[in-house]
Structure 1
Amino acid sequence: MSEKKNEGNSVSRRSFLRNGALAAAGFMIVPRHVLGRGFVAPSDRLRVAAVGVGGKGYGDITSFAEGRADIAFLCDVDKRRAAKAITTFPKAKFYTDYREMFEKERKNFDAVSVSTPDHQHAVAAMAAMQLGKHVYVQKPLTHDIYEARKLTEAAKKYKVVTQMGNQGASGDGVRQLMEWYNAGLIGDVHTVYVWTDRPVWPQGVAWPQTNATIPAELNWDLWLGTAPKKNFVDNLVPFNWRGWWDYGTGALGDMGCHLIEPPFRVLGLGYPSSVEASVGSVYVGEFNRGYFPESCPPSSHVTMKFPVKGGKEVTMHWMDGGIQPERPEELGPNEMMGDGGNGVIFVGTKGKMMCGTYGINPRLLPTSRNAEVNVPQTIARVPEGHYLQWVNAAIAGYNSKEAKSLSSPFDIAGPLTESILMGNLAIRSYDYREAKIDGKGYNYPGRYIKLLWDGPNMKITNFDPANQFVKRTYREGWSLGV
């Protein structure tokens, strides 16, 4: 699928490079020793431009500001959502279109925070990196597998400091799990169960037929961005977009980066070799199951196989919509599995271990083992936390030891995101040539086979229609710029 280049008055990422001549990359940072004692060098503060400043975006920038970061610019397509940030950071100049902000202010900021709906992550992050800016991008890193691969490549090409917003990657829990696993306490893991009670927004529903009035404070065309042109409907903004494929990535995209990250890191996983999916349907009439191709399903069970060392493989089960795995025999009948609604269970040849969301509350099973085992700490913790870890690394620079010890840079976050989005590819794998609406809804032949994945080439090798979900076509006027 090809992307169309920007036309008319829209500002493309290529124009940033052409007109700016990589001005930001050439911006001179004066070392503090040159200025002498008592001076605060520009390199001692990180000037951040924020794209998406409501909700989670607001939480991100206030966390950055707790360290050596100055929130210099704010950008949001919805002034209602931006109001709190504008009040909190009155010195920050406000923009509605990040492309205009980048074009006009590219010499005046060092880094960019991206916290938009999923379908806008990649274009904003790529544009920032092409200007030589460090980037922090909320999870999931991207909407599409192709986008994740390109952002990962761009981080290396432009030598910028990157971090994805899966803050559990900097937590103590995942490091404790790694130390237990490395010490051989549960043997070789062969199966992992991951589950969530999400979605907590509408999924498995038809697109509303009634149009609504666009709020005066919302630039709906900019909110749509790369997505197809549609009329505005109620109850989509600011949160329920997650259940629609044009904008969100469903429960798997929302929670996968928090829950799959621990096994991905602990077991050193890479690209999966295969993926299968089954989904829940909704009742739309007597003996009639409803499938709505624009909407994520109400629940799903995805199974992925990951090759590991020694010619072995790990089977990972993802479950959402309230589906949970069978309780381990080692877990007491009144003991909580995971953190209740979410969790991860590692099944090894010598035992099991478990954690909650973000890798918190790691436990060996049976839980009585935790009082008996004392494994020395071998992995450094992140006392400053996920946000300030990125701020400090960005100030230190791309080749610094701080940058090399980041918890979720794109060379880690990119492959993780690709693997997570593989599940969505399987869930969506219908054939447009065969798709039809009948008494049973859409025909999804890709859900009834094992999809074989060629990771390096980003391709399903045994069911070509599934490859349409590797990379989407952007709306005219938008481009990834690669």
Structure 2
Amino acid sequence: MNNNNSRRSFIKNTALTAAGFYIVPRHVLGRGFVAPSDKLNIAGIGAGGKAEVNLPYAWNNGAENIAALCDVDDRMAVKARAKWPNAPYYKDYRTLLDKEHKNIDAVIITTPDHMHAPIALAAMQLGKHVYCEKPLTHDIYEARVLTKAAAKYKIVTQMGNQGSSGDDTRKVETWIQQGVIGDVHTVHVWTNRPTWPQGIPTPTGKFDIPKEVDWDLWLGTAPYRDFNPIYLPAIWRGWTDFGTGSLGDMGCHFIDVPYRALNLGYPVAVSCSVGSVFSGFFKEEVYTDSYPPSSVTYIKFPARKTMGPVELVWYDGGIKPRRPDELMPVEQMGEWDGGIIFEGTKGKLMAGLFGRNPTLLPTKRMKETTLPGSKYPFVERGTEGHQTQWVNACKKGYGTYTSSSFDKSGPLTETVLMGNLAVKSYNYQEKNSKGEITYPGRKQLLWDGENQRITNFEPANQFVKRQYRGTYNLNI
């Protein structure tokens, strides 16, 4: 589609002459315009893991074109390279963008969290539409940058929290906003994650770097450390330099539902408690390189228009909220991987991941209550999947609806990452005048969302924005 020769041929063969002017389709007039009849040329940056879902769905059995592939670990790219053998393959995303930018229209980013922001920004600056896996970014600051960049460069965006395109998310939003359970004041959200090691010390030992892995590129923006097989392929999620823990993995799925339903915006305060790790009798260990094995996070939001203040409580690592009295003993609370409970002045609403199976409590209310239909027109939410919705929007151009465009998923990601800021502040250590270790960040932290600053504990602000290694940057 972006091949110069094919464009010239297209103009020559199909342009119409009218009153001395050539009338041509708008997609040949500038970047970002794509004719709906054309294939979208997509680059996959990160070719394994979740890319094994994202790329085939976007490709849609050949309806679109996978035009280039990139991965720092050749082992992760084996299946993708076999499926699309004609797609040029690179290890460095910068090389791909430099050499293929004329041949691609969009990118799908499926890398560890710490590389999302620089890759997405680089693609947007070239006018490429972006689909980025959740969480949108590793840091709070990065999320704000990508939100602004999407608007500045006028490209179509989507974060990979596919539940946001589902009917259940919209159903919950409609019920809450139409007052089915009254004014919501508290929301409980929990997950069974982590399903990878957390609350563990930094690994030691020397290991040979596999020949298939470019370790320097894999580290990317993160501080240098020696290679260790414990970090890959997916165990990086538990390490603070690379991943965002349970919150980053599942928060953008679960918290998305109340965030939309309650129009939450920026929080005003956050606090937490975390699970302890002991290496001996009464010998508690604090590992700041790894997220804790479990945590509970309290995020407070101010009143919004006609809605009152809300406290959202997040639980992970096997911890769950108190079982509602309205739930019968034989009835399951949430689903196997977590759940959501809204508490309102006129009742409670329970749902699973992506808002699945929304149920009023007590459950007999489901038969007694006339529930409103979704406020979203069917034509807007469409029937296509999350990736296909983004592809179709890319073809129509900037301004076309996507469920999790960065103007929505950016602020959501900032809120999700507030929990990690609280966890990192909770484990922040100082020494008092006696040389004893203290934890001054174990308190409620007050947040100025507009300016992205903790106002009552300055050391916490180091967790808003990290320093990149090398020449990586986020200069818009």
Q: Does the residue aligned with 1:103 lie in a helix, a strand or coil?
A: helix
| Residue pair 2:109, 2:131 contacting (<8 A) in 1 also | yes
Equivalent residue number for residue 468 of structure 1:
462
Mapped pair 1:113 → 2:108: yes
Matches within 5 A, 1:106-145: 106-145=101-140
Aligned letter for 2:372? V
Q: 1:131 to 1:348 in 2, by over 3 A?
A: same
Between the aligned partners of 1:32 and 1:147, the Cα distance in structure 2 is: 44
Q: CA deviation at 1:260?
A: 0.2
How big is the shift at 1:374?
3.6
**2:91 counterpart residue number:** 96
1:58 Cα deviation from its structure 2 partner: 1.9
Q: Partner of 2:19 in structure 1?
A: none
Partner residue of 2:354?
358
| CA deviation string 1:173-217 (max 9, x = no partner) | 111112212332100100000001100111111011112111110
- What residue in structure 1 maps to residue 376 of structure 2? 379
1:69 positional shift: 2.3
Aligned counterpart for 1:326 among listed residues 312, 322, 328: 322
SS at match of 1:119: helix
Alpha-carbon offset, residue 412 of structure 1: 0.3
**Superimposed CA distance per residue, residues 102-122 of structure 1 (whole angstroms, 9 cap, x where no aligned partner):** 011111100011010000000
Equivalent residue number for residue 226 of structure 1: 221
Q: Does 1:370 align with 2:366?
A: yes
CA distance in structure 2 between the aligned counterparts of 1:161 and 1:93, rounded to whole angstroms? 24
Partner of 1:397: 397
Looking at structure 1, the residues matched to 360 and 222 of structure 2 have their Cα atoms a distance apart, in angstroms, of: 44
Partner SS state of residue 308, structure 1: coil
How many angstroms apart in 2 are the aligned matches of 1:144 and 1:226? 12
Match of 2:338 among 339, 342, 367: 342
Distance 2:283 2:175 in 1: 49
- Residue pairs, 1:188-199, within 5 angstroms: 188-199=183-194
Moved more, 144-153 or 334-343: 334-343
Identify the residue that residue 453 of structure 1 maps to in structure 2: 447
Residue 393 of structure 1, CA deviation: 0.3
Runs of 4+ that moved beyond 3 A: 27-36, 39-42, 430-433
Deviation at residue 34 of structure 1 after TM alignment: 4.8
Other structure's SS at 1:358 match: helix
Query: In 2, distance between residues paired with 1:220 and 1:456?
Result: 37
| C-alpha distance 33-359 of structure 1, shift in aligned 2 (>3 A) | farther
* TM superposition shift of 1:331: 1.1
Contact 1:112/1:134 (<8 A) preserved: yes
Written as runs of structure 1 = structure 2, the 5 A alignment for 1:247-262 is 247-262=242-257
In structure 2, the CA distance between the partners of 1:313 and 1:214, relative to structure 1 (3 Å rule), is same
Q: Which amino acid aligns with 1:459?
A: R
Displacement of 1:431 in angstroms is: 8.4
Corresponding position: 1:163 with 2:158: yes
SS at match of 1:191: strand
- In the alignment, which residue of structure 2 is the partner of 1:56? 50
Aligned to 2:72: 77
Q: Secondary structure at the match of 2:210?
A: coil
Name the amino acid aligned to 2:146: L
Partners in 1 of 2:220 and 2:106 — Cα distance?
22
Deviation of residue 419 (structure 1)?
0.4
Q: Is the 1:431–1:465 Cα contact (8 Å) retained in structure 2? A: no
Q: How many residues align?
A: 449
- Provide the secondary structure at the position in 1 that maps to 2:225: coil
Measure the CA separation in 2 of the matches of 1:66 and 1:336: 37
Shift of 1:33: 11
Equivalent residue letter for 2:50: K
Q: CA deviation at 1:439?
A: 12
Among the aligned pairs, what percent are the same residue?
53
Q: Which amino acid aligns with 2:417?
A: L
| Partners of 1:252 and 1:30 in 2: CA distance | 48
Q: Show the counterpart of 1:480.
A: 474
C-alpha displacement at 1:435, in angstroms?
A: 5.8
CA distance in 1, matches of 2:227, 2:125: 32
Q: Which residue of 1 aligns with 2:404?
A: 408
- 8 Å CA contact 2:184–2:308 kept in 1: the answer is no
Cα distance in 1 for residues equivalent to 2:233 and 2:218: 10
**CA offsets per residue over residues 52-89 of structure 1, 9 Å max, x none?**
01010121011101174211000000001100000111
Helix, strand or coil for the counterpart of 2:357? coil
Aligned amino acid, residue 420 of structure 2: N
> How far, CA to CA, are the matches of 1:138 and 1:225 in structure 2?
17
The two structures have a TM-score, normalised by structure 1, of 0.88
Cα 1:33/1:354, change in 2 over 3 Å: farther
| CA RMSD between the two structures | 2.5
Partner of 1:6: none
C-alpha distance in structure 1 between counterparts of 2:251 and 2:12, whole Å = 42
1:405-430 deviation digits (Å, cap 9, x = unpaired): 21100000000000010110011016
User: Is 1:434 equivalent to 2:424 in the alignment?
Assistant: no
Residue deviations 1:451-479 (CA, integer Å, cap 9, x gap): 00000000000100000000000012221
Which stretch of the first structure deviates more once superposed, 134-143 or 334-343?
Answer: 334-343
The 2-side partners of 1:430 and 1:374 are apart by: 42
Q: Secondary structure at the match of 2:231?
A: coil
- 1:396 aligned partner, one-letter code: K
Worse overlay, 71-80 or 43-52: 43-52
Measure, in 1, the Cα distance between the counterparts of 2:143 and 2:15: 40
Q: Residues 2-13 of structure 1 correspond to what in structure 2 (within 5 A)? A: none
CA distance in 2, matches of 1:32, 1:60: 36
Distance in structure 1 (CA, Å) of the matches to 2:13 and 2:178: 44
- SS across alignment from 1:252: helix
- Contact 1:322/1:341 (8 A) holds in 2: no
What TM-score does the superposition give when structure 2 sets the normalisation length? 0.90
The secondary structure found in structure 1 opposite 2:299 is strand
CA contact (8 A) 1:50 1:75 kept: yes
